[in-house]
Amino acid sequence: MSMRTRIGRFLPFLRSAEEKFFDKTYDARIAEVTHLYGDEQKQQRMRGYFDRTPEEIDREQKDNIRIFYDVMLGIARTFKPRTTMQLGCFTATELQWLRTHDIGGTLIAADHSPDYLEFLEAGFAKTPFAGFQYRCFNLDKATAADFADVNMVTGMAVLSNIQPESLDQLFGAMASAGVQVVIIGDMYVAASLGSASSTAKSYPLAGSRNWAHPYRAVARRHGYNVDFMPCFTYSSFKEARGVWLLTRDIEETFRRDAFSFAIGHYFERQQQMLDTYSSANGG
């Protein structure tokens, strides 16, 4: 526990908004996160996004430093999902990668706001990504019906926003609906990587309203195999991020092949990616 946190317990007025967040009720925390990721904020960040050229889209993907996307492509190539859903879609980046790399099946963008989903659908209408489907539900209140007909789910930098009380329900909903593959890219702390269900807990992340969740323990509770690897990102010097590949009722070779492909694909684009990373950070 940091000295600031200790002092804050006795002098509450010194505590930041982020520190106070974790003391709020379950519903209050959900409401605050929903407000922070509201339609207006997201739409402002999307200005000009739908006007990208094919060359800009290609460069954007090749420059992406996260190996999460390579793992996602690896499992999708072998598993060949019937329907893939991206959670907390924002820019629908995962779905764009799948479409660009000719991964077939239905592609669904999910978000808590119907208005934002309409905004995305209209924006993508005249782009190579027209034809995505859209589904509205709140991740903190997910049910099996929300994942109807979905057998692969992706979630990059989204599940750390849901509340600990919601995690078991979310994983139970996916398992009950028959989701066989889940790829998570998010933050972790050492203690959150354990597999023991009896001691599993979520950890508040300093300086944010995010949680390091015990994905491995909760996923195993619902019958998923769990593979994990660290993920290097622009923020790696401030926080640890990783990739969790959750699978149920699929061949073990699919999992091995996914990571084998991911390493090879990451190496192929590494030179350009690191040159871009270096120049953007003063190299």
Do 134 and 108 touch, CB atoms closer than 8 A?
yes
What separation in angstroms does the CA of 76 have from each of 30, 99, 263, 265? 32, 11, 15, 13
Task: For 44-88, write each residue's pLDDT tens digit.
Answer: 999 999 999 999 999 999 999 999 999 999 999 999 999 999 999
Residue 254 CA to residue 260 CA, distance in Å, equals 10
pTM: 0.92
Residues in the chain where the model's pLDDT stays below 50: 4, 7
Residue 11 pLDDT: 52
Residue 13 pLDDT: 56
Residue 236 pLDDT: 67
Length of the chain: 283
Residue 173 CA to residue 113 CA, distance in Å, equals 20
H helices present in 64-112, as ranges: 68-79, 93-100
Residue 281 pLDDT: 63
Do 188 and 212 touch, CB atoms closer than 8 A?
yes
Task: Give me the phi and psi of 51, to 5 degrees please.
Answer: -100, 5
Residue 5 pLDDT: 53
